[in-house]
Structure 1
C-alpha cells in the first residue's frame, strides 16, 4: 500500500536546516541595508521578550515540567529522523494537530494568567494617567483599612486564630463573591469586625473575607486551592487558598496561621512570611499606597520583582507614603525547601535568570530564522539587460580606439524573495570597463554587474561572462 500526500514534519525540518545552512554560506542571512538589519534586531528582541515572559510564567508551575518533557520528545524525534527512523517522524506528523490542541488545554491556566497580567498592567497605566485625583481622595480610607487589618492580624496571631483576608484591587473577584454559600456583607473594615468573623465559634470562620473598595463585601468565601508545587507540603489549606487567591489577577491575600501563629502575605502566586504586624503594615501601604507611580510592563518582565525588596513586590515602582516606616525586605520566595528569611539574592537564582534570558534569546533567534527561511526565502531571477561601457575616456587618453560591441547580457541574481521580486531590470547594470585595456588587438573584457544600492544581491550567472573587443592604436 502506498501512502500519498504524506508530508513528514521531520523532512520539513531537514529542509529548513539545509536552507539555513545555504543562507549562512551564501552570506545573505542578514539581508538588506542598515534599516533592514535594525528591523531584524528589533524583531528578535521583541520575540525574545515574549518568549521570556512565557517561560517565566511556565517556570513556576507544573507546566514547566510538562514543557521540558515535550522538548525531550521533540529532540528524540529529531534525532530519530536524522538517523533515518521514519516511523517516529510519521507518528509525530500525524499527531502534531492533537499535540497543538493538547498544548492549549495543558497550558490554559498559564495562558489566562498571561492575558490577565497584560490587561491589568495596561489598565493600571491608563487609570493612573486619566484619574490620578481619585486616588488621593481614598488615601484616608485606605489607611484606616490597613490599620484595621493589621491590628486584627496581630491579635489573631497572638491567639493562634486562623484567618484569610482577600483584598481586591483592579481585577474583580465577582466569581468568589457570587458563590452559593457566601454571606454577602456591606460593612466598614474594622479590627473588631474581622475578629468576630474569624472567631473559632463563629459560623463565618470557615472561609475567607473579601475586602472590596475599602469595605467588607463577603464572608465565608471558598477560594480554589493553588497547585503551585513550590509550596511546602506542611502548609495547610488556608495557605494554599491564599496563594490561589493571589493567582486570580492582582489580589492580595493576608493569611494568619492557626498552627504557627504567623502572618503571611500572598501576592502574584508567591507566599511571603512576615515577621510581625509592622511588616504587614509597611507592605500594605506600599501595595495599596495612593502615591504609587505606574510601572512599566516591559520593565516588570525583566525585573525579578518577586525576589526584590518590598519597594517592588508587585513589579512596579512604588513610593512609600509612610516614610517613618523602615524599609522592609521581602524574604526569598518559597521553594521546595524552607523559606529564606534573608533578602539576599543567591547566585543560583541569578544564574537561573541569566539562563532563562539566554534561552529566550536563542529561541527567538531560531524562530526568526525559521520565519525568514519560510516566508522570505532566497530565490533567483533572470534579467536580460543591455551591455553598457565605461572607461572609454581612459582608453582614448592612452591612444587606443575601441570597437563597441552591440549585444545584451543575460544575468541571474540571487536574493531574498521580497527584494528580488520588487527588482526592476532598469536597476541592473551590465557593463565592460575599457580602462582595463593595455594593448591593441583583440582583448577579452569581463562583463561586470552592478545592482546599485542593492548590495545584498549576488550574481550567480551571466551570459556572456566575457566580451571580446577590437582595440586599435590611434593614427
Structure 2
C-alpha cells in the first residue's frame, strides 16, 4: 500500500518544478555543479539506453509498453476526475512494482549476466592469455573428439546433449542431486559410451569444463522463450535453455532424426554435418584473441570483423544451407563481440544475429528516449530529493588585510562581533556544511583614508560546490581608522 495520493504527489512535483524554473533555482550552481549535472545525465542515459535495448529484443518490451499504457490511462482518468481509477492506481502501484520484477525476471537476470561477463572477461583473458596459447592443441583435440562422437551418434540415431562451459560458470549444474561428477579427458569413445542407450548416464547432458568432462547426467532447465517446432523434443529445449545462460555452448544430436545441432545465445541451429560443427566450434573455442592486457580496454582485435568474415567465406562449403549460414553468422557476431574493447562490450548487448536488428532510426529513437527519461529523472531529483535549501550559521567575525593597512600607516580599532549567515545551496551541500566551514570576514587591505568607515562582511563556505549567502546580519561593520602616532 502506498501512503498518500499519487496524483497529489505528481501535482506537487510539477508545481515545485515550475517554481524552481521561474526563480532560476532549477539550474542553481556554479561550473562544477553544471559539469556534475551533465555527467549525471549522460551516465543515466547510458544505463537507460542499455536497459531499453535489452528489453526491446524480448517479450518484456511488449509487457513494458502495456504497463506504461495502463499507468498513463489511470493518470489521465485521475486528471479528469475519475476517482475510482485513481484510487485503484494509488493502491496497486506497489503490486505493479513487485509484478515488474517477477515478470521481467529472465530479462533482468540476462542483463546482469551480460554486464558481469562483459566487465570481467577482458580481465580474465589478459590474465590467462599465455595459458590459452599453450592449450590450443588440447582445444583442437577436444573439438575433434566432440565432432567424431557426434558424427558417430548421428549415424546410429543416438541422442546426446553436450554442454560446453566458457566464461559463464555452471557450478549449479555440477551440484545437482543426481549428477555424477567426473574428471575425465574428452574422447570420442568416452562420449559415445556415456550416451549409449544402455548406459545409466545417457539420461541428461554432460558438462565439459576446462577441456574435461566434469559431470554427467546433468538436468538442464528447459527454455520457455523459444518457439520450437513440434518435432523438437526435450533435449533440444534443454540445449536452448543451457545456451541462454551467458555464453554457454550446447551441442545436441537428435535421437529421432539423427541431426546435429548447435545452440548459441538462446537459438538453435541445425547443421548439415560434422564439418560444419567443427568449423563453428573452432571459431568459438580457439584461443585466438588479438588484443590482450590493458590495451584490450580500448581496442579490439586487429584481425576482427573483416578477417573472420574472410575465413568464413573460405570455409563456407555448401553455402546453400541457410541454417549453416545463420549459425556461422551467429558465431562470427559472437567472435566480434568478444574482440571488442571492454568499454564497448559493456554498452553493447551480446549479439544475436538471428534476432531483430536495431536500425539507425530505432537507435536514434532509443537515444532520445533515454536522454529524455534521464533529464526527467534528474529534474525529479533536483526538485524533490536534492532541492535548493537554506541553512543559518552563527560564526565569529575574522579580519584580513590588517598588516596591509598598518603598512599604509593606519591604525584600526577592530570590533569583536558574531555574524549570522544564511547560506543557500543544494540540500546535500548545505547539510554537509558545519559552522567551522563557514568563514565571515572583513578585509582592510583596500582602506586608504581615516575616519569612520563601513566595511562589508564577506562570506567563504570553503566548498567547491556552489553556495550563495542570502542574508548576513550585520551585512557591514563600522570601524574607526586613524593614523598611527
Question: TM-score, normalised to structure 1's length?
Answer: 0.66
Name the CA shift for 1:186/1:376 in 2 (closer, same or farther; >3 Å).
Answer: closer
Given that 1:267 and 1:314 are in contact with CA atoms closer than 8 Å, whether structure 2 keeps it comes out as: no
Aligned to 1:368: 378
Deviation larger for 126-135 or 309-318: 309-318
Aligned to 1:472: none
Superposed CA deviations along residues 343-377 of structure 1, whole A, max 9, x for unmatched, are: xxx6x655445444443333222222212221222
Name the CA shift for 1:418/1:6 in 2 (closer, same or farther; >3 Å).
Answer: closer
Query: Structure 2 CA distance, aligned partners of 1:190 and 1:200?
Result: 18
3-state secondary structure, aligned to 2:354: coil
The structure 2 residue matched to 1:332, chosen from 330, 334, 353, is 353
Matched, 1:213 2:235: no
Given that 1:124 and 1:294 are in contact with CA atoms closer than 8 Å, whether structure 2 keeps it comes out as: no
Name the CA shift for 1:120/1:93 in 2 (closer, same or farther; >3 Å).
Answer: same
Name the CA shift for 1:426/1:63 in 2 (closer, same or farther; >3 Å).
Answer: same
Given that 2:280 and 2:331 are in contact with CA atoms closer than 8 Å, whether structure 1 keeps it comes out as: no
Aligned to 1:136: 133
Aligned to 1:248: 245
Name the CA shift for 1:150/1:205 in 2 (closer, same or farther; >3 Å).
Answer: same
Aligned to 2:43: 46
Query: Structure 1 CA distance, aligned partners of 2:277 and 2:334?
Result: 15
The structure 2 residue matched to 1:80, chosen from 60, 77, 80, is 77
Question: TM-score, normalised to structure 2's length?
Answer: 0.65
Aligned residues, how many?
393
Superposed CA deviations along residues 39-91 of structure 1, whole A, max 9, x for unmatched, are: 22222222222223333444444444433332222112221222223333333
Deviation larger for 371-380 or 220-229: 371-380
Superposed CA deviations along residues 304-363 of structure 1, whole A, max 9, x for unmatched, are: xx97661534832189xxxxxxxxxx983257xxxxxxxxxx6x6554454444433332
Deviation larger for 60-69 or 239-248: 60-69
Taking CA–CA contacts closer than 8 Å with sequence separation of 6 or more, which of the two structures ends up with the larger relative contact order? 2
Aligned to 1:442: none
Structure with the bigger percentage of helix: 2
Query: Structure 2 CA distance, aligned partners of 1:143 and 1:355?
Result: 45
Given that 1:287 and 1:314 are in contact with CA atoms closer than 8 Å, whether structure 2 keeps it comes out as: no
Superposed CA deviations along residues 239-283 of structure 1, whole A, max 9, x for unmatched, are: 221121122343211223445554433233343454544443333
Aligned to 2:97: 100
3-state secondary structure, aligned to 2:339: coil
Q: Which runs of 5+ in 2 are unaligned?
A: 301-326, 342-350, 394-420, 442-459, 472-485
Name the CA shift for 1:36/1:318 in 2 (closer, same or farther; >3 Å).
Answer: closer
Name the CA shift for 1:370/1:264 in 2 (closer, same or farther; >3 Å).
Answer: farther
Query: Structure 1 CA distance, aligned partners of 2:340 and 2:155?
Result: 31
Query: Structure 2 CA distance, aligned partners of 1:425 and 1:150?
Result: 78
Matched, 1:10 2:7: yes
Given that 1:208 and 1:223 are in contact with CA atoms closer than 8 Å, whether structure 2 keeps it comes out as: yes
Matched, 1:185 2:182: yes
